[in-house]
C-alpha cells in the first residue's frame, strides 16, 4: 500500500476504529471537534511533491508504514529519569506514546494561578475545546488535522496574569511502541505580565520505527515573557512531524530554540504571529544530521503591527548522505511600519554527498522597515584547520574544535544553565559521531 490515497483511506479506517473505542465519550464536544478535523483531513489528503511547501521533502517512506494510532496508555517504562534534564529543578509532565503518565510526573506545589496538567480532563468536560485548534483550522495542514482527529491527551500549561513562574516546566514525550503513531498536543497560555520557561522534549525507548505527529499552540499575553525550548532526539529510524503556532500580544517577548538531533525524517513547521505592537520575537535553531537523515525546517514570522522586532538564526551541520531543508519567511503586513527583522541560515556540510536546500524569504508590504536575510553553505575552512594544526592540534581534533564552535553559537544562547550544559554534552557527543565519519 504505497499510494497516498490508499494511505489516507487507511487512517480514515483507523479513525472509525478509534470512535468505537470511545464509548460514551463519542458524544462530547471534543469528539465533535475530532470529527471536523478528520473530515478536513479527508478533503486534504497527504501532501505530495507537487505542493511547494513539500517540494524537497518526500513522505513516501512514512506512508509505506502502518503506524497505528495509540488509543490508550501503556505500562510506565522505568528508564525516564535519564531523559529529563539532569540537575534541573522543574515541574514535569511525562507522556508515553502520547498519553499522560501521572506516576512519572512531578507537578506538586504549583503557585496560585498556574496549571500544569494533562489536557484529557479539561477536554472531556468541554473546557478549552472551542479555542483548541483555532490556529491550525485554516492552515490546510493534513498532519495537524490528523493530530486533532486522534486527540486524546496532551499537555496544558497556563500561567495566570502577573505570575512569574520560578521553575521551568519540562514536557517529556516518550515513544515506547514499535510501529505506533503518537499525536501529542501542547497548549501553553502565558497571560498578561506573566513569565515562564517551557522545555518540550521528544525521545525513544524503542529502537524500532515509530511516528510522532505533534502540534503545539502557544499564546503569549501582553507584556508577557516565554522561553520555549524544543529538543527532538528520537531514534535514527523515527519519523517526526511537528507544528508550532504562536500568537504574540502587545509588548510581549517570545524566544524559541529548536534542536533537532534524531529521527530519520523530521519536519518542523513554526508559525509565529506578532499581533500587537512593541513585540520582541526570536527563533533559534540547530540541526545535526548524518547517515541518510532528512530534516526540514519551515518557519513563518508574521508581522501584523508596527514597532516590532524579530530575530531568526538557524544553523545546520550535515554529514554523510543526509539532507536538509530550510525555508524561512518573514511576512510584513502593510500596517507593520517600523518593523526590524533579521533572518539567517548557516550550514556546514561535512561531506560532498550531504545536501541542503535553503530559501530565506522576505515578503514586505510596508515601506518604513529594516529587514535583512541571508543564507550560507560551506565546508570546514582549510585555513582555520591549518592554523590549528600549526599550533600542535591534529587534523581530526581541529575538525572537532571548528565543528563544535559552529554549533555552539546556537547552544550558548540557551538561557537555562542546566539545559545549556546538557545540550553542550549531547550536541558535542553527536558531533563527535559525525566528525568521526570524516576520518
Q: What does 171-208 look like in DSSP terms, one character per residue? A: EEEEE-STTEEE--EEEEEE-TT-EEEEEEEEEESSSS
Nearest to 258 by CA among 232, 285, 226, 233: 285
pLDDT for the residue 85? 95
pLDDT-derived band at 197 (thresholds 50, 70, 90) equals very high
Helix, strand, or coil (residue 68)? strand
pLDDT for the residue 21? 86
How many beta carbons lie within 10 A of that of residue 66, not counting itself?
Answer: 10
User: How many Å apart are CA 136 and CA 148, to the nearest integer?
Assistant: 9
Among 67-76, 118-127, 145-154, name the most confident range.
Answer: 145-154
pLDDT-derived band at 122 (thresholds 50, 70, 90) equals confident
Among 57-71, 143-157, 272-286, 388-402, name the most confident range.
Answer: 272-286
Q: pLDDT tens for residues 42-91?
A: 999 999 988 989 999 999 999 999 999 988 776 666 678 889 999 999 99
Residue 298: all three cell numbers together? 519551515
Q: Which residue has the higher pLDDT, 390 or 101?
A: 101
How many beta carbons lie within 10 A of that of residue 27, not counting itself?
Answer: 9
- Given a cut of 50, whether residue 420 has pLDDT beyond it is yes
**Whole-prediction pTM:** 0.95
User: How many Å apart are CA 389 and CA 407, to the nearest integer?
Assistant: 21
Nearest to 327 by CA among 284, 348, 297: 297
pLDDT for the residue 2? 44
pLDDT for the residue 361? 94
pLDDT for the residue 76? 64
Q: Which residue has the higher pLDDT, 131 or 253?
A: 253
Please enumerate, as own/partner, the contacts of 364-368 that have beta carbons within 8 Å and a separation of 24 or more. 364/330, 364/332, 365/332, 365/333, 365/334, 366/303, 366/306, 366/332, 366/333, 366/334, 366/335, 366/336, 366/337, 366/339, 367/337, 368/337, 368/338
Q: pLDDT tens for residues 130-142?
A: 667 666 766 789 9
Q: What percent of the chain has pLDDT over 70?
A: 94
Helix, strand, or coil (residue 131)? coil
Using an 8 Å Cβ cutoff, are 274 and 310 in contact? yes
- Given a cut of 70, whether residue 407 has pLDDT beyond it is yes
Average pLDDT over residues 156-160: 96
Nearest to 81 by CA among 67, 70, 69, 92: 92
Residue 22, classified by CB atoms within 10 Å of its CB into exposed (0-12), middle (13-18) or buried (19+), is middle
Average pLDDT over residues 334-362: 96
Q: Mean pLDDT, the chain, as a whole number?
A: 92
User: How many Å apart are CA 301 and CA 158, to the nearest integer?
Assistant: 24
Using an 8 Å Cβ cutoff, are 317 and 406 in contact? yes
Beta-bridged to residue 316, according to DSSP, are 287, 347
pLDDT for the residue 372? 95
Using an 8 Å Cβ cutoff, are 76 and 105 in contact? no
pLDDT for the residue 330? 97
Lowest mean per-residue pLDDT among 90-94, 172-176, 383-387: 383-387
Average pLDDT over residues 239-246: 97
Lowest mean per-residue pLDDT among 61-70, 121-130, 184-193, 397-406: 121-130
Residue 374, classified by CB atoms within 10 Å of its CB into exposed (0-12), middle (13-18) or buried (19+), is exposed
pLDDT for the residue 436? 79
Q: pLDDT tens for residues 258-272?
A: 999 999 999 999 999
User: How many Å apart are CA 430 and CA 43, to the nearest integer?
Assistant: 41
Q: pLDDT tens for residues 203-234?
A: 999 999 999 999 999 999 999 999 999 999 99
Residue 430: all three cell numbers together? 553527536
Nearest to 137 by CA among 237, 39, 252: 39
pLDDT for the residue 63? 95
pLDDT-derived band at 398 (thresholds 50, 70, 90) equals confident
Cα torsion 134, 185, 38, 260 to 10°: value is 100
Q: pLDDT tens for residues 362-375?
A: 999 999 999 999 99
pLDDT-derived band at 1 (thresholds 50, 70, 90) equals very low
Amino acid at each position: 500500500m504505497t499510494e497516498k490515497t490508499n494511505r489516507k483511506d487507511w487512517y480514515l479506517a483507523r479513525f472509525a476504529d478509534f470512535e468505537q473505542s470511545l464509548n460514551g465519550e463519542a458524544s462530547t464536544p471534543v469528539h465533535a471537534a475530532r470529527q471536523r478535523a478528520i473530515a478536513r483531513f479527508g478533503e486534504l489528503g497527504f501532501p505530495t511533491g507537487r505542493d511547494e511547501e513539500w517540494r524537497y521533502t518526500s513522505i513516501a517512506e512514512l506512508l509505506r508504514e502502518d503506524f497505528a494510532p495509540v488509543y490508550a496508555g501503556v505500562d510506565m517504562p522505568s528508564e525516564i529519569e535519564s531523559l529529563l534534564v539532569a540537575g534541573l529543578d522543574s515541574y514535569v509532565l511525562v507522556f508515553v506514546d502520547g498519553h499522560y503518565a501521572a506516576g512519572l510526573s512531578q507537578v506538586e506545589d504549583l503557585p496560585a494561578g498556574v496549571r500544569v496538567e494533562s489536557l484529557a480532563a479539561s477536554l472531556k468536560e468541554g473546557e478549552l475545546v472551542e479555542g483548541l485548534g483555532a490556529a491550525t483550522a485554516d492552515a490546510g495542514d493534513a498532519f495537524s488535522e490528523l493530530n486533532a482527529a486522534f486527540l486524546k491527551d496532551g499537555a496544558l500549561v497556563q500561567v495566570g496574569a502577573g505570575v512569574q513562574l520560578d521553575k521551568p516546566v519540562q514536557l517529556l514525550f516518550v515513544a515506547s511502541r514499535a510501529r505506533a503513531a503518537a499525536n501529542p498536543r501542547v497548549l501553553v497560555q502565558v497571560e498578561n505580565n506573566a513569565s515562564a520557561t517551557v522545555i518540550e522534549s521528544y525521545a525513544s525507548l524503542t529502537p524500532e520505527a515509530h511516528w510522532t505527529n505533534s502540534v503545539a499552540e502557544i499564546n503569549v499575553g501582553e507584556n508577557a515573557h516565554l522561553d520555549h525550548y524544543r529538543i527532538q532526539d528520537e531514534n535514527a529510524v523515527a519519523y517526526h512531524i511537528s507544528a508550532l503556532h504562536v500568537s504574540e500580544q502587545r509588548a510581549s517577548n517570545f524566544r524559541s530554540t529548536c534542536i533537532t538531533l534524531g529521527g530519520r525524517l523530521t519536519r518542523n513547521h513554526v508559525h509565529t504571529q506578532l499581533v500587537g505592537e512593541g513585540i520582541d520575537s526570536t527563533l533559534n535553531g540547530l540541526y545535526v544530521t548524518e547517515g541518510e537523515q532528512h530534516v526540514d525546517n519551515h518557519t513563518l514570522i508574521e508581522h501584523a503591527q508596527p514597532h516590532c522586532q524579530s530575530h531568526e538564526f538557524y544553523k545546520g551541520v550535515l554529514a554523510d548522505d543526509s539532507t536538509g531543508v530550510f525555508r524561512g519567511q518573514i511576512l510584513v503586513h502593510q500596517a507593520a511600519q517600523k518593523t526590524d527583522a533579521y533572518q539567517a541560515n548557516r550550514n556546514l556540510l561535512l561531506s560532498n554527498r550531504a545536501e541542503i536546500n535553503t530559501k530565506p524569504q522576505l515578503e514586505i508590504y510596508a515601506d518604513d522597515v529594516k529587514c535583512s536575510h541571508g543564507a550560507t553553505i560551506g565546508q570546514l575552512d582549510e585555513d582555520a584547520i591549518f592554523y590549528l594544526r600549526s599550533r600542535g592540534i591534529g587534523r581530526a581534533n581541529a575538525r572537532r574544535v571548528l565543528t563544535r564552535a559552529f554549533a555552539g553559537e546556537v547552544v550558548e544562547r540557551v538561557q537555562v544553565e542546566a539545559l545549556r550544559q546538557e545540550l553542550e554534552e549531547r550536541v558535542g557527543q553527536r558531533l563527535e559521531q559525525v566528525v568521526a565519519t570524516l576520518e
